[in-house]
Amino acid sequence: MRSPALLVGALVLAGCGQKAFSAPVTGRTSAGPEETYACVKKQLGELGYKQTSNDASEFRVTANKFDYTTRRPDVQFRRMVNKLDVGVAAEADGQTSIQVEGSTFAEYTTHRGPTEEEEKASAEVNADAAKVIERCRS
């Protein structure tokens, strides 16, 4: 009798224990998807991000910005990497939605090569995500 209860309790705790490192920021605009997508790509460059992938048919783009100023007391630590994942989509009501998800990774140099460990999204990447939405909203 006790065994099934422990199993259920362990599953519930395992499901609740997952961390949410970032939350997407969303916005809507009356501009078309093509125009909004072009705006997003332009803003990423202006904010200092370098585009890493581009799916023009689905209006998705990802970009990285490296932070060399952060220091850690670990000889394997190399740098922080802020990443933005942006998706633009046409909605049924004629509006265009923009979804930006920012995430932050600590990059380490290990014997296997560069290794990234996801961390809580930095204030900088969250601010940049909000800026992309704000600048492309009109």
Confidence of residue 128 (pLDDT cuts 50, 70, 90): very high
Closest CA to 104 of 22, 20, 18: 22
- Structure token digits, residue 90: 């046409």
The pLDDT value given to residue 47 = 96
Number of domains in the chain: 1
Task: Flag whether pLDDT at 8 surpasses 60.
Answer: no
Q: Is residue 39 part of a domain?
A: yes
Task: Flag whether pLDDT at 131 surpasses 90.
Answer: yes
Tens of pLDDT, residue by residue over 111-127, are: 999 999 999 999 999 99
Tens of pLDDT, residue by residue over 9-35, are: 555 545 555 556 777 899 999 999 999
Q: Is residue 51 part of a domain?
A: yes
Q: How far apart are CA 52 and CA 60, in angstroms?
A: 11
What CATH number has the domain bearing residue 74?
Answer: 3.30.530.50
Q: Is residue 5 part of a domain?
A: no
Q: How far apart are CA 132 and CA 124, in angstroms?
A: 12
Tokens 């990443």 appear where?
Answer: 83
The pLDDT value given to residue 15 = 52
Q: Is residue 16 part of a domain?
A: no
Tens of pLDDT, residue by residue over 101-115, are: 999 999 999 999 999
Q: Domain range spanning residue 63?
A: 21-136
Q: Is residue 1 part of a domain?
A: no
Tens of pLDDT, residue by residue over 82-105, are: 999 999 999 999 999 999 999 999
Q: How far apart are CA 85 and CA 94, in angstroms?
A: 23
The pLDDT value given to residue 10 = 53
Q: Is residue 97 part of a domain?
A: yes
The pLDDT value given to residue 51 = 96
- Collapse the DSSP code of 64 into the 3-class scheme (helix H, G, I; strand E, B; otherwise coil) and give the result: strand
Q: Is the pTM of this model over 0.85?
A: no
